[in-house]
Structure 1
Amino acid sequence: MAGLAVLAVIGLGACAPEDNNSSGPSTPSGADACAKDKLAVKTPGTLTVGTDKPAYEPWFSNNDPSNGKGYESAVTYALAKKLGFDKGEVKWQTVQFNTAFAPGPKAFDLDVNQVSISDERRKAVDFSSGYYDVRQTVITTAGSKIANAKSVADLADAKLGAQVGTTSYTELRDVVKPKQTPAVFDSNDLAVQALKNKQLDGIVVDLPTAFYMTAAQLDNGKIVGQLPAGAKAEQFGYVLEKNSKLTACVTQAVDALKADGTLANLQKQYLTESGAPELS
């Protein structure tokens, strides 16, 4: 999906799995607290990063998190560099989406998988500050009953679906409030298949995923529009073990990437929000 990877952005992107804000200690204590040799990583000299498989565009490229392509892969390698790790010192492992923020010890140092920061999830894990602001989007296929919808109210009679455990599902249920019970899927691929089979009128996903699905996975795919933004910006953050000694340093690195323009530049390179109207 190199074509999607180079789509231009108009402004900063925004896109989806559950609720908002940044977290974690704001500043590490001590001037060298975040020096590489002081970091409490699982394996000395290695930054172990988890993500799900398959790893979807435009967050990753060619289902290979280690190639440094796609927004989350590129941000992760930029973060690793801030922490003192070379690319070869970053090791990836497969972590199922819902497992990443479940209670209990973690085999990874941090996980990156479009996990939205929420107070509920913070009860079980730590989060870094947000590396991406998120908007939810409704997609369909050309000619469907919601293809020309202009408002959330226009979606009331539609059969809609979303991936389980995601903010996409939460907003489908709580913001769209369709008359029909929302369909729930274990993966976005299954939701796409249901849409292809005309078992659904539309799917709710985050915005960059919406661009990928409509361009690469669906024939005549169409973005209906973005759902109204909430009072607080939903954000994706890195997931860390609860009370991890790394949390403050990862947050410091994310904040540095935001301050020096790296996040904005990578969003322009890999993500886009052009062509996605706002639903009233």
Structure 2
Amino acid sequence: MLHQPGRTRLTAILAPLALAAALTACGSEAEDSAEGGAPTSCEAADLPLKQDGKLTIGTDSPAYEPWFSENDPSNGKGFESAVAYAVAEQLGFAKDDVVWVKQTFNTSYTPGEKKFDFDINQISITPERAGVVDFSQGYYTASQAVVIMEKDAAKAASLEDLKGLKLGAQTATTSLTAIREDVQPTTDPLVFDTSDQAKQALLNGQVDALVFDLPTAFYITAAEIEGSTITGQFESSEKPEEFGLLTEKGSGLAPCLDEALTALEEDGTLAALEKEWLSDVVSVPVLK
């Protein structure tokens, strides 16, 4: 066999290059498969969770009626607590495998790593928020409502009336966005860090009226602010507002939450829970 030095040198050069290319390709495939954290299935054991075998759910504290009950998300009472446990069951978790953590509303949708698998807290799905977190499909469609003291109710009988009032809402909520974009009052709305501060401002006469999502408005007028009433609801000029389950950006959990919510919608569970916990939300006039 003749010695071929040229061929030997060429082989020596190409072999490492081929190996490097193969390793790079393997690494790229691994990165692609890991990107987004998508689970191989929606079985509980395959989900990308913060704690193995546990489903960690975030919400604010206090946790308000009618979304929760007795400020205790873990009791399964209130619409969102009941929805959360129904989703957990669909995903294969027993009630004892659900862990609740506190997460303030206006920090739930900021960028970065989360301490929960999903958050449920009347968080409206918006394009801006969806840029930094992921959402499930909607589990509830909400409209905005005006809460005012009964003695002043005649002052808020239409959207035109609202323009001249001093309005208020909690910071970073779609209620505040609705005031600015759909009502467009002549005076800038007052903005409050919490809904408790907003309610106290109404009692103190600092604002003429407040805007909340309709079920919350019902609870406030029925159980929290004596002598208050709802003058009506108004619908956003954009597509209907929906609340979604919020997850960390790229966690990969959202498709499985969608699967669970679709099953709960198709078997009537979501409608039944809405009727059970939000049944008072009926016959409210739409402000024109």
- Indicate whether the TM-score tops 0.5: yes
Counterpart AA for 2:64: Y
Shift of 1:60: 0.1
* Native 8 Å contact 1:141 1:222 kept in 2: yes
Q: Does 1:171 align with 2:178?
A: yes
Aligned residues: 250
Corresponding residue number in structure 2 for 1:96? 104
The alpha-carbon deviation at position 221 of structure 1 amounts to 1.1
Deviations 1:162-215 (A, max 9, x none): 000000000011111111110000011111001001111100000000001101
**Does the residue aligned with 1:225 lie in a helix, a strand or coil?**
strand
- Distance in 2, Cα, partners of 1:199 & 1:222: 17
Structure 2 gap segments, 5+ residues each: 1-37
Contact in 2 for aligned 1:140/1:147 (Cα 8 Å): no
**Residue of structure 2 equivalent to 1:187:** 194
The match for 1:159 is 166
Contact kept in structure 1, 2:218 and 2:230, CA below 8 Å: yes
Is contact 1:148–1:224 with CA below 8 Å preserved after alignment?
no
2:63 maps to 55
TM-superposed CA distance for 1:143, in Å, is 0.8
Aligned match for 2:235, one of 216, 219, 228: 228
Q: Of the candidates 202, 207, 213, which is equivalent to residue 200 of structure 1?
A: 207
Inter-CA distance 221–266: structure 2 relative to 1 (3 Å threshold): same
Q: Cα distance, 1:228 vs. partner?
A: 2.8
1:21 equivalent in structure 2: none
Question: How big is the shift at 1:230?
Answer: 3.0
- Counterpart in 1 of 2:26? none
Letter in 2 for 1:55: A
> Which protein shows a greater Rg?
2
Alignment partner, residue 258 of structure 2 = 251
CA–CA distance in 1 between the matches of 2:110 and 2:238?
26
Whichever residue aligns with residue 172 of structure 1, its letter is I
Deviations 1:249-278 (A, max 9, x none): 011101111111111110100113224211
Question: What is the aligned partner in structure 1 of residue 81 from structure 2?
Answer: 73
- How far apart, in 2, do the equivalents of 1:66 and 1:160 lie? 34
- Indicate the structure with greater helix content: 2
Which stretch has the larger CA shift, 222-231 or 83-92? 222-231
Q: Please give the secondary structure, in 1, of the residue aligned with 2:181.
A: helix
Among all aligned residue pairs of Structure 1 and Structure 2, give the percentage whose two residues are the same amino acid: 51
Equivalent in the alignment of 2:54: 46
Q: What is the CA–CA distance in structure 2 between the aligned matches of 1:217 and 1:35, rounded to whole Å?
A: 42
Q: TM-score, normalised on structure 1?
A: 0.87
- Cα distance, 1:218 vs. partner? 0.7
Larger mean Cα displacement after TM superposition, 146-155 or 92-101: 146-155
User: 1:5 maps to which residue?
Assistant: none
Q: Confirm or deny: 8 A CA contact 1:72 1:112 kept in the other structure.
A: yes
1:264 aligns with 2:241: no
C-alpha distance in 2 between matches for 1:36 and 1:175: 42
- Give the equivalent residue in structure 2 for 1:10: none
In structure 1, distance between residues paired with 2:235 and 2:67: 23
SS for the counterpart of 2:136 is strand
TM-score, length basis structure 2: 0.84
- Secondary structure (helix, strand or coil) at the match of 1:143 reads helix
Computed over aligned residues only, the root mean square deviation of the Cα atoms, in angstroms, reads 1.3
Question: d(CA) in 2 for partners of 1:149 and 1:161?
Answer: 14
State the distance in 1 between where 2:44 and 2:189 align.
Answer: 46
Q: Is contact 2:39-2:48 (8 Å) kept?
A: no
Q: Which residue of 1 aligns with 2:93?
A: 85
Q: Which amino acid aligns with 1:179?
A: T
| Alignment correspondent of 1:16 | none
In the aligned structure 2, how far is the partner of 1:180 from the partner of 1:212?
27
